[in-house]
Amino acid sequence: MQRGPIEAGLGWCCKEDTGFVGADAVRAVREAGPAEKLVAFEIDGPGIARHGNPIAGGGEVTSGTMSPSLGVGIGMAYVPAERAVPGTGLEIDVRGKMRRAVVMQKPLYRKGS
Amino acid sequence: MAEANYPEDLLYHAEHDWARIDAGDPSLATLGITWYAQDSLGEVVFFDLPAVGASVSKDASYAEVESVKAVSDVIAPLSGEIVEVNQALSDDPQKINDDPYGEGWLVKLRLSNPAEREQLMDAAAYAATLGG
C-alpha cells in the first residue's frame, strides 16, 4: 500500500501548484480521496498494540505503546478511510491475539484530562 | 530493587529466568525473570497472564512481558503444567521490577520432568554469563 501526505493527514502542508516532485500523485489522491487514513486509537481492555500489528479488515498499526497518563494502550494506525471516524471499533491482531480498540479524536491526551 | 541481585537458592536459565523448587515438594516450582531481565526491559507495564492448566516446555516461550518500549518472550526454564498464576500482576505488573524474586513471581508449575533442574545454573554460574 502506497501512502502519502494525504493519507497521513498532512495535506495542509502540500501545495501541489508549486510543482514539487510527487505533486501529481498528491493531487490525484486529494481529488479522489484517500483509501486509508492515519488515526489515533485506544485499546479497549488489556494489551498493547505495536508497530506492524495488522488490523482486521485492512490497515496496520504504525506505532503503539502503553500510555502512563491514560493507563491504556494507545497508538496510531492506518485504516480504511470509511473506518477512520472517531468511535469506530477496530480489531487489532496483537501477536495472534485479537484486541479490541476504538478510533479516537486527536489529541488523545489533553492537559488535566 | 536497584542493585543487581541473584539469590543463591534459585536455579537459573540462560534466557534470564529463574526457578525456585518448592522445599517440601520437589515437583513444584515457582518461575520468574531475573533482576538482569527486568533491568534490561525497563518499567514493566503489562504481563499477559497465561492460563492455569496450560503446559509449558523447557526452553520455549510461555508468556510475554511488555515494558514501555518492547515486548519480550518469557522462556520456561523447566517443563510442566501451570497450576497457579500471579494474579496480582494484572493490576500491578511493576511488581516484576520492584521484587522480581518475591512479589514479582510469574507462575507456579507442576513439573513434568523434575530432572531437568540438573540442566539449570546456580547463581554464580548465571552471574558469570552476564559478564560482570
Binary contact (A65, B69; C-beta < 8 A): yes
A42 in the same domain as A22: no
Q: Which domain holds residue A57?
A: 35-104
Which residue in chain A is spatially nearest to B72 when comparing CA positions?
A: A95
A43 in the same domain as A21: no
3-state secondary structure of B65: strand
- How many domains does chain A contain in total? 2
Does some domain include residue A68? yes
pTM over 0.80: yes
A53-73 mean pLDDT: 94
Does some domain include residue A42? yes
What chain B holds in terms of domains, given with CATH numbers, is: 11-126 (2.40.50.100)
A92 in the same domain as A65: yes
Q: Identify the CATH number of the domain in which residue A97 sits.
A: 2.40.30.110
In our burial notation (b when 16+ CB lie closer than 10 A, e otherwise), range A18-29 reads eeeeeeeebeeb
Give CA–CA dist A51/B55, Å, rounded: 30
A94 in the same domain as A48: yes
Going by C-alpha positions, the residue among A81, A82, A87 that lies closest to residue A104 is: A87
The grid coordinates of residue A14 equal 502540500
Give CA–CA dist B16/B126, Å, rounded: 8
Question: Which residues of A, range 13-52, sit inside 8 Å of B by Cβ?
Answer: 46-48, 50
pLDDT by residue (tens digit) across B68-115?
888 999 999 999 999 999 999 999 999 999 999 999 999 999 999 999
Residue type, A66: M
3-state secondary structure of A1: coil
Does some domain include residue A113? no
Q: Above 80 in pLDDT, residue A33?
A: yes
Size of interface A-B (CB pairs under 8 A): 22
A53 in the same domain as A3: no
Whether ipTM > 0.85 holds is: no
For residue A2, name the pLDDT band (cuts at 50, 70, 90): confident
Nearest Cβ partner of A66 from B46, B48, B64? B46
Share of residues in chain B with pLDDT > 90 (%): 91
A75 in the same domain as A40: yes
pLDDT by residue (tens digit) across B37-78?
999 999 999 999 999 999 999 999 999 999 988 899 999 999
Cβ atoms of A105 and A88 closer than 8 Å: no
A1 in the same domain as A29: yes
For residue B71, list chain A residues with Cβ-Cβ distance below 8 A.
48, 50, 95
A3 touches chain B (CB under 8 A): no
Residue type, A105: Q
For residue B46, list chain A residues with Cβ-Cβ distance below 8 A.
46-48, 66, 73
A40 in the same domain as A5: no
The grid coordinates of residue A44 equal 479497549
B90 touches chain A (CB under 8 A): yes
